[in-house]
Amino acid sequence: MTMARRIVAEGLGTLLLLVVVVGSGVMGARLAGGNDAIALLGNTLSTGAGLVVLIHVFGPISGAHFNPAVTLVAVLRRELGAADALGYGAAQVIGAVLGVWLAHAMFAEPVLQVSAHVRGGWGQGLAELVATFGLIGTILAVSKHRGEFTPVAVGLYITSAYWFTASTSFANPAVTLARGLTDTFAGIAPASIPLFIAGQLAGALIALAVFGWLLAEDPA
Amino acid sequence: MTMARRIVAEGLGTLLLLVVVVGSGVMGARLAGGNDAIALLGNTLSTGAGLVVLIHVFGPISGAHFNPAVTLVAVLRRELGAADALGYGAAQVIGAVLGVWLAHAMFAEPVLQVSAHVRGGWGQGLAELVATFGLIGTILAVSKHRGEFTPVAVGLYITSAYWFTASTSFANPAVTLARGLTDTFAGIAPASIPLFIAGQLAGALIALAVFGWLLAEDPA
Amino acid sequence: MTMARRIVAEGLGTLLLLVVVVGSGVMGARLAGGNDAIALLGNTLSTGAGLVVLIHVFGPISGAHFNPAVTLVAVLRRELGAADALGYGAAQVIGAVLGVWLAHAMFAEPVLQVSAHVRGGWGQGLAELVATFGLIGTILAVSKHRGEFTPVAVGLYITSAYWFTASTSFANPAVTLARGLTDTFAGIAPASIPLFIAGQLAGALIALAVFGWLLAEDPA
Amino acid sequence: MTMARRIVAEGLGTLLLLVVVVGSGVMGARLAGGNDAIALLGNTLSTGAGLVVLIHVFGPISGAHFNPAVTLVAVLRRELGAADALGYGAAQVIGAVLGVWLAHAMFAEPVLQVSAHVRGGWGQGLAELVATFGLIGTILAVSKHRGEFTPVAVGLYITSAYWFTASTSFANPAVTLARGLTDTFAGIAPASIPLFIAGQLAGALIALAVFGWLLAEDPA
């Protein structure tokens, strides 16, 4: 694949991921009559199913990272060069922001917003650490042992993690930044973003170490 | 396959698709006690699961388009002749209308209805553009890279899109026309139909261009 | 497989199917606070997922019919002898009744009950015809084209049909008879049973004819 | 795989399983506004999806038992030595307890708790017998006939069993012990634990006998 196609795939895929996350959050909150568990059920179903599709669509082109934490791990494992990684990261952030704005336009919301939803406390940071640890571990283990199942595994992982983490599992710095720009169900106040991204990076690095050891070939 | 079998497969498959969409909408609305998110959860689960089954059942016979936008893309990609496409389109529209009427009969509703549910505003048209762009992109990319997963990918895509688009993702002109003939949960007022179909055709053509480029083989 | 193992597999599988259907109905109704759509969501998720598992477990032993309508179609297609079919049918009915009673025992309900839930009107009969037509069509088409997907297709079909049919898709004479013996969420008054079974048999025979033609090999 | 890796995989996998079960229970209960069926829907979706992922991640390393009842059956079938089994069991119990505490920390709950949720009555014991019988039967039958589907089958089984058993299907002595240490949605009062574990062991042994016979090769 040419680099142009790979960059466009990362950007368009991340854009559509944010349309899914933010759009289904708006739909859920509008229809659920104030019951956030019902809104989260719709949000979860849409995000999990959508991720499986998006990774199948864009995976053969760019690898379907959609996530700077995943791209960082690929660089540290020497599977991607630093220059390519910068392109991937820029495409992910730009795509994510455009996706939020497209979701707003569809739902006739003001395009430009800033979230007022504070998600603070160290439990939230720990939750993002756990969420990203699990996401990176899932990708490393399943791509090694049964690669064709990885897209479904990632979709199921996020389906599960929306409920088992206290933070509803952002697990993605580009997604976190962009969700700062929506004051709807999926939003996060800018003040809470550094804690989330710190937790995500810590979780990714711990997963790299733990699963690096767990998945190593035994010495002969 | 003979042409007769293929036409019957498109008609019967689209009929059953409308039974699923309209029937599960009625069931959801009747049971949900006024909470539209709960009704939409049932409607979504039924439509997504049903689509996976219908495409597996009829795909090996006719390709399981069930959708004039999909048939149009096949013609533009020279995978289907114009005469066959006309037969497909007629079968889809007739099947869709009969499916709505069969759903009404099962639920003891008046068979002949016209929807009064206005779904207007340019956000709705944009939503149909996004919904159909994603559907066609999913079909083009997944059939190229991993064809046996296409039926599941389409079912998961619609599961997701029911929630992430502001219009609940009709993404199908035959389905849209037929849903004008039901004044139940899934209905759409005839006055809103042109906007929906315009959005769908625009989305299909944009997907054809974008994914034509993204999926092209690199020059040697 | 010896005949004893096949008969036990049909009986035990149908027993467990009824434990799933009746048990998850009781759980849903007890927890849902009067909202039948929420109860049906739990009932649907449990039945669809459970069916996929049960067909995987018992399919390699007996074919996992669990359903006299499926066994009848197998006889008419000369895939099963009449004597074997009688054994299958008896095991299915006995297993189904024992399954209802086991569900009652687990939930501390009186073991012996008769349903007072009338499910009448010709719409309900039509719904059972449609439900069984779709079930048999799914089995015939998917086993021909992609046999290893049949268990998942049947589970997804029932997941969908619980919502798109007005009767919540019994689609099985043994299950219908046994559900006459529970006055819980899944019950059916004995007076409504003949209508349901008539619809089921009509749907099975129509599916046999329609899909017999649709799936026939073209003449050379 | 070295034994150290296998023990760590069992411990870490069981830890994460308890994070999923307890964490999604807390999330469901906090958001559901008092409707336990809605809370259980979220808990079920998260646990079923999470199990499929965890078994894919750790299965190639340790077999992904996460459950002393599964380990016991492996010993009785002479697939695992007694010394290894003790290591597995210890890792499972320690991992399970740590998982509960990690879930508490994420959700800013007191780390040390004891459940006050009495789950008594012989129907509950029978439910655990049925739940574990089905779990062991699923594992034995599906690993024999279609091993690569086993992780999905186990996830679907638990998805189903959360609803069809009166006890919401613990089906795992290590999970049961650890859930005694949380006074949240998933908790179980210590006084109820012996009944649950007795039912689980009985169900496992009955499944071993029944499926040993059902899955035996016919004599030549």
In order of B127, B129, B149, D198, the CA distances from B52 in angstroms are: 23, 23, 10, 41
Q: Which of A126, A138, A167 sits opposite D57 (nearest CB)?
A: A138
Contact between chains at C45 and D40 (C-beta distance less than 8 A): no
Nearest-CA distance C98 → chain D (Å):
13
Set of chain B residues whose Cβ sits within 8 Å of the Cβ of C167: 106
pLDDT band at C217 (very low <50, low <70, confident <90, very high): confident
Reported as a single tens digit per residue, the pLDDT across A105-162 is 999 999 999 999 999 999 999 999 999 999 999 999 999 999 999 999 999 999 999 9
Q: Closest residue of B to C165, CA-based?
A: B23
Mean pLDDT score of chain D: 97
Q: Per-residue pLDDT for D66 more than 80?
A: yes
Contact between chains at A56 and B146 (C-beta distance less than 8 A): yes
Reported as a single tens digit per residue, the pLDDT across C131-145 is 999 999 999 999 999
Note the pTM of the prediction, 2 decimals: 0.97
SS3 readout for C15-69: HHHHHHHHHHHHHHHHHCCCCHHHHHHHHHHHHHHHHHHHHHHHHHHHCCCCCHH
Set of chain A residues whose Cβ sits within 8 Å of the Cβ of B219: none
Nearest partner of D168 among D204, D116, D123, D107, judged by Cα: D123
CA distance C21 to C34: 19
The pLDDT of residue A11: 98
Mean pLDDT, residues B88-107:
98
The pLDDT of residue C115: 98
Q: Is C32 on the interface with B (CB under 8 A)?
A: no
Set of chain D residues whose Cβ sits within 8 Å of the Cβ of C46: 159-164
Set of chain C residues whose Cβ sits within 8 Å of the Cβ of D142: 53, 56-57
Q: Do residues D13 and A158 make contact, with C-beta atoms less than 8 angstroms apart?
A: no
Q: Do residues A20 and A135 make contact, with C-beta atoms less than 8 angstroms apart?
A: no
pLDDT band at C57 (very low <50, low <70, confident <90, very high): very high
Domain locations in chain D as residue ranges? 3-214
Q: Per-residue pLDDT for D218 more than 70?
A: no
Q: Is B147 on the interface with A (CB under 8 A)?
A: no
Reported as a single tens digit per residue, the pLDDT across A60-119 is 999 999 999 999 999 999 999 999 999 999 999 999 999 999 999 999 999 999 999 999
Domain B3-214 CATH (choose: 2.102.10.10, 1.20.1080.10, 1.10.3720.10, 1.10.490.10): 1.20.1080.10
pLDDT band at B217 (very low <50, low <70, confident <90, very high): confident
The pLDDT of residue D217: 74
Mean pLDDT, residues B63-84:
97
Burial class of C90 by CB neighbour count within 10 A (0 to 12, 13 to 18, 19+): middle
What ipTM is given for this predicted complex?
Answer: 0.97
Choose from C21, C57, C184 for mutation: most chain D CBs within 10 A.
Answer: C57
The pLDDT of residue B219: 58
The pLDDT of residue C99: 98
Contact between chains at C160 and B45 (C-beta distance less than 8 A): yes
Q: Do residues C186 and C21 make contact, with C-beta atoms less than 8 angstroms apart?
A: yes
Nearest partner of B124 among B70, B59, B189, judged by Cα: B189
Choose from B106, B109, B156 for mutation: most chain C CBs within 10 A.
Answer: B106
Nearest-CA distance D183 → chain A (Å):
16
CA distance B180 to D49: 37
Q: Which two tokens stand for residue B24?
A: 């599960």
pLDDT band at A1 (very low <50, low <70, confident <90, very high): low
Reported as a single tens digit per residue, the pLDDT across B104-117 is 999 999 999 999 99
Length of chain B in residues, anyone? 220
Strands (E), chain A: none
- State which amino acid sits at residue D124: Q
Q: Is D52 on the interface with A (CB under 8 A)?
A: yes
Q: Per-residue pLDDT for B190 more than 70?
A: yes
Contact between chains at C38 and B39 (C-beta distance less than 8 A): no
Q: Per-residue pLDDT for B77 more than 90?
A: yes
Choose from D132, D139, D163, D215 for mutation: most chain C CBs within 10 A.
Answer: D163
Reported as a single tens digit per residue, the pLDDT across C179-207 is 999 999 999 999 999 999 999 999 999 99
Contact between chains at D24 and A160 (C-beta distance less than 8 A): yes
Q: Which chains touch C (3 or more CB pairs under 8 A)?
A: B, D
Q: Which of residues 100-129 of B touch C (CB under 8 A)?
A: 102-103, 105-108
Nearest-CA distance C94 → chain B (Å):
30
The pLDDT of residue A217: 74
CA distance D171 to D54: 17
Mean pLDDT score of chain A: 97
The pLDDT of residue C1: 65
Mean pLDDT, residues B168-191:
98
Q: What is the DSSP letter of A219?
A: P
Reported as a single tens digit per residue, the pLDDT across D95-107 is 999 999 999 999 9
In order of D102, D108, D109, the CA distances from A166 in angstroms are: 11, 9, 11
